[in-house]
Structure 1
């Protein structure tokens, strides 16, 4: 496979790194490149583990709006002898690549863009910045610099762009990229608008019908803040944290659909915050003990959450309680300790409500 390209040196000195600029279909790129990941048994890898949430997020971004594109180039390192440069009859320089050499061609930056664009359309094209004749040290250096020096656009700059251009067109497009003028509004909007959200069209927002506003918006913000504070491996940006949160609640809704209704204690602010904390703590502990659980993978999060729910019962949320439902630290801690006690009771084969002070009159289903 060959592609028209431009080669250059950024620095004028001799014997410095050469770059090669070109574009190619993402299906081609996956054929002649590899994404070596740094792990305990692969010391020459540079990439972190692939995040299922990020890949799906990029594919969704591209599919949501026909004008959405990703102009940011993939950074790919080419070892010596992994490529050839030639001139075609028209005088155009070409880079020639072969799938047999893919183990010597490493994706340094943009693995999730690559997989996400491919999931959207394998024939879609992506720009590439190639680092030619790169050593392992050069690959590692570029990975560290690129991933630690990248600067996010300041909120004030985004706000200025919004004022300068058509807000009614720009704001919806920003939301498809999971951007917004308000970080708090971002998460609530995703929960209420995403097609795969368990809370779609049910969040307490002015745009939602009165009879459908079952889910407390601030509970979503507080729950995601708790997940951020946990610093769970693989959940290193807003998008993956939001997707992780939605995966947990998707599992809860699939297991306890009857609790997703008006006046449900589970969907109150204190209910959602406490249940999120309980599930997150439990599956984070499970992932730390079991190698086959990856909390950056949606399926693993859903299955792990459902395992935790086997030690709980929806009757807990339907029963009469000894305390009024209110969002205070005392009530949150009381509910959390009650959930732990219910777990112990079910595991031991006792009545789920035994020695649970919170329960006044237990529901029997």
Structure 2
């Protein structure tokens, strides 16, 4: 087997790796494991005299746990590996560590929804350790600010608006994370803190308001929804005129997770934008905030 040690132009060196094994040895004692491509190799074995070239991506000295992880992830991309099969493969390994890696690779494991696990665990998720559920082992009760129903509702709304993402879970997750990373970056004093900004009704109203405008940009060919940087840029354009002070005011209405309250909130967003464009005080004419002109 030829091993490609470098990929830059004029910096490629070649080497040979050889190994031998007994055909009747148990599988786990053999020195190599093929994670994907077994059928292609089997077919090529009928043409040994042709000296056919083949590209190989190899992991040298991979531990059994690493082999199990790679097998599950690679094979899961084409056809989902059932949860029962995943559990049987990883039964003899450090379950907590392997489960965490599987979640970050977006492979379903256990009985918790994959998207929620990823958003709870991943360093790229703006909601890391903020979800309110028993699975969230890394956070304290005080930091579990966001009900998982808020995330589920937000995801449903995005799916409804962008039907192209309905069966593309990876892109849906990245769309959601890119959106809310931009929100988090715009409101660092509020995000992840125990305040009304982080309430379920407000998260979903804000998510609907932003998603509606991203949908318009996409329909007008002004946004590539598969480009995280473009999404973040558009989100900042949408929310940059909505001051943090709005979220810190004492609102005239009690926060309620109802369609009517979310409509009031989204309408106030529109009024704030109009006020800023007309040079008025941002809070003029709002239904939630009572301020002099």
Task: Give the TM interval when normalised to the shorter protein.
Answer: 0.5 to 0.7
Which residue of 1 is the match for residue 193 of structure 2? 262
Q: Is 1:315 aligned to residue 273 of structure 2? A: no
Between Structure 1 and Structure 2, which shows a larger proportion of strand residues? 1
Number of residue pairs the alignment of both structures matches: 235
The whole-number CA distance in structure 1 between the counterparts of 2:280 and 2:34 is 55
Match of 2:87 among 139, 159, 162: 162
Q: CA RMSD in A?
A: 3.6
2:233 aligned partner: 303
Q: Deviations over 1:66-118 (max 9, x none)?
A: xxx99455xxxxxxxxxxxxxx9x93522499xxxxxxxxxxxxxxxxxxxxx
Post-superposition offset of 1:258? 0.9
Decide which of 203, 207, 211 is 2:142's aligned counterpart. 211
Q: What residue number does 1:201 align with?
A: 129
CA separation of 1:299/1:331 partners in 2, compared to 1, >3 Å: closer, same or farther? same
- Which structure 2 residue ranges, 5 or more long, are not aligned? 9-32, 38-46, 60-77
CA drift of 1:324 comes to: 0.9
Superposition deviation, residue 296 in structure 1: 0.6
Is the 1:191–1:198 Cα contact (8 Å) retained in structure 2? yes
Cα distance between partner residues in 2 of 1:279 and 1:183: 31
Quote the Cα distance in structure 2 between the aligned partners of 1:219 and 1:240.
19
Tell me if structure 2 keeps the 8 A contact 1:312–1:342: yes
SS in 1 for 2:290: strand
Change (3 A) 1:94 1:179: closer
1:234 offset after TM fit, Å?
6.3
Q: What TM-score do you get using the length of structure 1 for normalisation? A: 0.55
Q: Using the TM superposition, give the Cα deviation of residue 287 of structure 1 relative to its aligned residue in structure 2, in angstroms.
A: 2.7
Structure 1 stretches of 5 or more lacking a match?
5-22, 29-68, 74-87, 98-122, 127-149
- Residue 218 of structure 2 corresponds to 287
What's the CA shift for 1:223? 0.7
TM-score, normalised with respect to structure 2: 0.67
Instruction: Tell me the residue number matched to 2:21.
Output: none
Contact 2:284 2:291 in 1 (8 A): no
Q: Which has the higher contact order (CA 8 A, sep 6+)?
A: 1
Can you list the C-alpha shifts for 1:111-154, whole angstroms capped at 9, x where unaligned? xxxxxxxxxxxx9459xxxxxxxxxxxxxxxxxxxxxxx7545x
Q: Out of 278, 281, 285, which is 1:355 matched to?
A: 285
TM-aligned CA deviation for residue 172 of structure 1: 3.2
C-alpha spacing 1:355/1:212, structure 2 compared with 1 (3 Å):
same
Displacement of 1:255 after TM fit?
1.1
